[in-house]
Amino acid sequence: MRYAIGVEYDGGGFRGWQRLTQPGVDDEATVQGVLETALSSVADARIETVCAGRTDAGVHAQCQVAHFDSTASRDLRAWTLGATTRLPPSVSVTWCRPVAADFSARFSAIARRYRYRILNRQVRPALARQWLSWHWRPLDAAAMHRAAQALVGEHDFGAFRSSECEASHGRRDLQRVAVSRDGDVVTIEVQANAFLHHMVRNIVGSLLEVGAGAQRETWMAELLAGRDRRLAGPTAPATGLVFVGPLYAAGHGLPAEVTAA
């Protein structure tokens, strides 16, 4: 039987989602490692997971989706509560659904969503500091939003691609990007069919240059056309970035939070 699960986690204490295989690194270092250990304990057999989108060290997830196969006779409550009781406090399995054998958390996803939040004031945050990035220079969120619209559509995002990116090409379909302000917090929301390594954080780093007045609004379009990572802004910190979750077609029968309208 194949199952899909929703996983919520604080990535601050982990070296990212992906289980590491190099010598001297144990399963406690990654979200996938602790999750598979917990699920394997529930199943009393080895469980391996595939996720919708691998997150980097320090990046959080509101609803990561993963799938796994198991022949163990367990009800859905056992997979959720049983696994969660075996996980560290920073990770929870929030739901579990049986899915078709050809469902893939990665390849069945039609979109992925991220949110980046910035505390924009002169003093660094004390409360909620693990969820917020910090930028002391005043930011023009409206200018950032206007500049970001140049990125919407299918493009080669080479200007916002990490040198460590292993993707075969840089073309992605960025379906939505929005920048807004609520008091001292500036929020950047992005949705795409898929993302390149550090793509969101590199876009944010460049938008911060526009918001602070160091670059023109047209600069984002120029960077996109130039496809030169060396000319773009710095990579924004992982703190403040949350993987909101993927989206799937309604036919998979998953919860509303990960089902496309």
Instruction: Read off the pLDDT of residues 61-75 as tens digits, 9 standing for 90 and up.
Output: 999 999 999 999 999
How sure is the predictor about 40, in pLDDT bands with cuts at 50, 70 and 90?
very high
pLDDT on residue 27: 65
List pLDDT tens digits, range 206-215. Answer: 999 999 999 9
Domain ranges of the chain: 2-108, 111-243
Higher pLDDT: 19 or 92? It is 92
Q: What is the pLDDT of residue 163?
A: 78
CA–CA gap between residue 50 and residue 32 (Å, rounded): 9
Please report the pLDDT score of residue 21 as a whole number.
65
Residue pLDDT, tens place only, 102-123:
999 999 999 999 999 999 999 9
Confidence tier at 162 by pLDDT (50, 70, 90): confident
Same fold across 2-108 and 111-243: yes
Q: What percent of the chain has pLDDT over 70?
A: 97
Q: What's the rounded Cα separation, in Å, for the pair 151 and 232? A: 13
pLDDT at position 33, please?
Answer: 95
Alpha helices in 86-161 (DSSP H): 141-148
Mean per-residue pLDDT, 142-155: 98
Catalytic, 27? Answer no
What gap in Å lies between CA 50 and CA 145, rounded to an integer?
34
Please give the CATH topology (third level) of the domain spanning 2-108.
Alpha-Beta Plaits (3.30.70)
**Is the pLDDT assigned to residue 156 strictly greater than 80?**
yes
- For residue 5, give Cα distances in angstroms to 37, 78, 94, 123, 191: 15, 12, 7, 39, 21
Weakest-pLDDT range from 81-85, 129-133, 163-167, 171-175: 163-167
26, 56, 75, 228: which one is catalytic? 56
Q: Which CATH number fits domain 111-243: 3.40.50.150, 1.10.10.10, 3.30.70.660, 3.40.50.1970?
A: 3.30.70.660
Cα dihedral: 179, 209, 15, 198 (round 10): 80
